[in-house]
Amino acid sequence: MSASTVSVIVFFSALMIVVSFVIGVWSSRKAKTAQAYFGGTAMFGPVAVGLSSMAGIASAFALVGVPGIIYATGNPMTFWMLSGAAFAMSYIILGKKVRAMAEIAPISSLGDICDVRFNNNRIIKALMSVIICLGCVGYLAAQIAAGSALIAHLLGWEPIVAGLVVFGLLTIYTAVSGEVGGLLTQAFQGFVMVIAGVFMIYAFFKVTGGFGNVMQAVGSIPEITGANGVTKKLGPDLLNAWGTFPGKISLTWMLIPILGCLGQPQVLVRMYALKDPRDLPKAGLVTAITHTIVGFLAVVVAYGALYLVATGKIPPLEKADMAIYAFADYVGIEAQLLVYAAVLAAAMSSASLFLTSSSTLLSKDLSSALGFNIPKEKQVSVSRIFMFVLGGASIVISIYSTQMVALLGTFGWGTLVSATFPVFVIGLLWERANEAGVMCGITASFVLNILSLTSFVWPGGLPAYFNISAISIAITVVVSLITPRQEISANLKRVIDL
């Protein structure tokens, strides 16, 4: 890449960062109350909510990690793009209930919903907060790793320096404006991702001629070795239903992104940010359409990179996570401008969301669950301190982790599912779910998530979070059935019955 090209890309990406910073600082005028700062509750329309929710899900995990998985292992992760439909499913299943919670009680965090549903049970709230924070740090690290690698690649900086500069600025504007600024900057960044998606989908068909040509090129040779000495295995097995993974692993890759969308904080918290509950269908539609575009972007750049390697137009990639950059570099300067900015936008949007979510959980929800009642006028200041600490810690974790972006992202994604399903999904869908059942389920999730951070290996070969989620859900249901029914208020019953 020439120096002039790098300069143009850096300028365009820097402009995106500056616009995000300005939006974030400007938005601080709206964050006048703790409820607005922590939750942005009932403040936004369906387009802003839909774009920001999409940007939170379709993160650097999507734009860098998913193409990396497809390039490395083949076809199965292609089904990830179907999770666009999961947004509509999420809004149909939970949207009305989560938004209605903000009508019967002051809601500015997931912990507030937990309090209303389970009678201020401190154990449930504390364990839920810790597990979600654990997942948030993993997911946040994935975003920082992708964004830092991009800037380091362009400017020749050390990744730690790039991470501190870009995500240091992000931490500043997020700390100033909270969820209000976070949502609006994420909406802008989501729009950048959609524009890049439309352009790259067009570029894929122009360069390759379509998926038929890609299948023929990739499936016709078993492997190819480039001048760089790297060998890439190709062949028809890469294109079958399971790719190079065992079937049970590939099936997990298909299920977790689709089912897991329902339990992601970046989806749940946006539901109560809607100003008008009647806009829920519109928000779901905006999110589903935009996520499908960005999801298809992730798919086409992966197959585009495979096609270029199979036809000898570029050498095999040394790192799978470089698939999106390799295809963009081949297409030309327009693609490079949009793709590099989109990856940075994806990383920043999710990073800001998980910064606000995790700092709120620690400073507001976990502290109250442990009996430390921070005065409301000081909660915002304490949350800002947690944002700076978490931001710095996540930068270090991301830079010095040896895992690829997708694995960091799936760890965070799966951990979040194991925490949110017992409390929010089962809790808001099933009136019979009680404190005892959810407490046992969330306790099992906490213990097993900690166990999975050790050298323990789960039998069967499935990812740890898949087993943990299934076990915690099963325990929640069984214990709820064998223990006395919990009495709930008339308002809460109406919410569950929606």
Domain tally for the chain?
Answer: 1
More confident residue, 12 or 294: 294
Range of the domain at 377: 3-401
Q: Is residue 453 part of a domain?
A: no
Q: Is residue 496 part of a domain?
A: no
Give 406's pLDDT tier (boundaries 50, 70, 90). Answer: very low
What's residue 411's pLDDT?
Answer: 56
Q: Is residue 449 part of a domain?
A: no
Q: Is residue 447 part of a domain?
A: no
Longest dimension (CA), the chain: 71
Minimum mean pLDDT among 20-24, 143-147, 468-472: which range? 143-147
Give 195's pLDDT tier (boundaries 50, 70, 90). Answer: very high
What's residue 399's pLDDT?
Answer: 63
79 token code pair: 């089904």
HEC string of 183-208 equals: HHHHHHHHHHHHHHHHHHHHHHHHHH
Q: Is residue 461 part of a domain?
A: no
Q: How far apart are the first and last CA of the chain?
A: 56
What's residue 413's pLDDT?
Answer: 65
Sign of CA dihedral 68, 200, 21, 160: positive
Mean per-residue pLDDT of the chain: 83
What's residue 377's pLDDT?
Answer: 66
Q: Is residue 223 part of a domain?
A: yes
Give percent of the chain above pLDDT 90: 18
What's residue 302's pLDDT?
Answer: 94
Q: Which residues pair with 409 in a beta bridge?
A: none
What's residue 476's pLDDT?
Answer: 94
Q: How many other C-beta atoms are found inside a 10 Å radius of the C-beta of residue 231?
A: 11
Q: What is the pTM of this model?
A: 0.85
Query: What average pLDDT does this structure show over 443-456?
Result: 82
What's residue 401's pLDDT?
Answer: 58
405 token code pair: 């972006």
Query: What average pLDDT does this structure show over 370-383?
Result: 77
HEC string of the chain equals: CCHHHHHHHHHHHHHHHHHHHHHHHHHCCCCCCHHHHHHCCCCECHHHHHHHHHHHHCCHHHHHHHHHHHHHHCHHHHHHHHHHHHHHHHHHHHHHHHHHHHHHCCCCCHHHHHHHHCCCCHHHHHHHHHHHHHHHHHHHHHHHHHHHHHHHHHHCCCHHHHHHHHHHHHHHHHHHHHHHHHHHHHHHHHHHHHHHHHHHHHHHHHHHCCHHHHHHHHHCCCEEECCCCCEEECCHHHHCCCCCCCHHHHHHHHHHHHHHHHHCHHHHHHHCCECCHHHHHHHHHHHHHHHHHHHHHHHHHHHHHHHHHHCCCCCCCCCHHHHHHHHHHHHCHHHHHHHHHHHHHHHHHHHHHHHHHHHHHHHHHHHHHCCCCCCHHHHHHHHHHHHHHHHHHHHHHHHHCCCCHHHHHHHHHHHHHHHHHHHHHHHHHCCCCCHHHHHHHHHHHHHHHHHHCCCCCCCCCCCHHHHHHHHHHHHHHHHHHHCCCCCCCHHHHHHHHC
Q: Is residue 259 part of a domain?
A: yes
pLDDT higher than 50, residue 404: no
What's residue 400's pLDDT?
Answer: 63
What's residue 407's pLDDT?
Answer: 47
Query: Which of 416, 253, 356, 347 is CA-nearest to residue 62?
Result: 347
Cβ partners under 8 Å of residue 255, min gap 6: none
Q: Which residues pair with 231 in a beta bridge?
A: 225
Q: What is the pLDDT of residues 463-475, one digit of tens each?
A: 777 888 889 999 9
* CATH at 247: 1.20.1730.10
d(CA 335, CA 351): 24
Query: What average pLDDT does this structure show over 101-120?
Result: 86
More confident residue, 109 or 302: 302
pLDDT higher than 90, residue 207: yes
What's residue 412's pLDDT?
Answer: 60
d(CA 243, CA 384): 45
Q: What is the pLDDT of residues 209-252, one digit of tens each?
A: 999 999 999 989 888 888 888 888 898 888 887 888 777 777 77
The number of residues making up the chain comes to: 498
More confident residue, 179 or 339: 339
d(CA 464, CA 449): 8
Cα dihedral: 326, 328, 267, 383 (round 10): 80
Minimum mean pLDDT among 205-214, 302-311, 445-454: which range? 445-454
Q: Is residue 430 part of a domain?
A: no
What's residue 47's pLDDT?
Answer: 92
Give 278's pLDDT tier (boundaries 50, 70, 90). Answer: confident
Give 32's pLDDT tier (boundaries 50, 70, 90). Answer: confident
Q: What is the pLDDT of residues 181-192, one digit of tens each?
A: 788 888 898 999
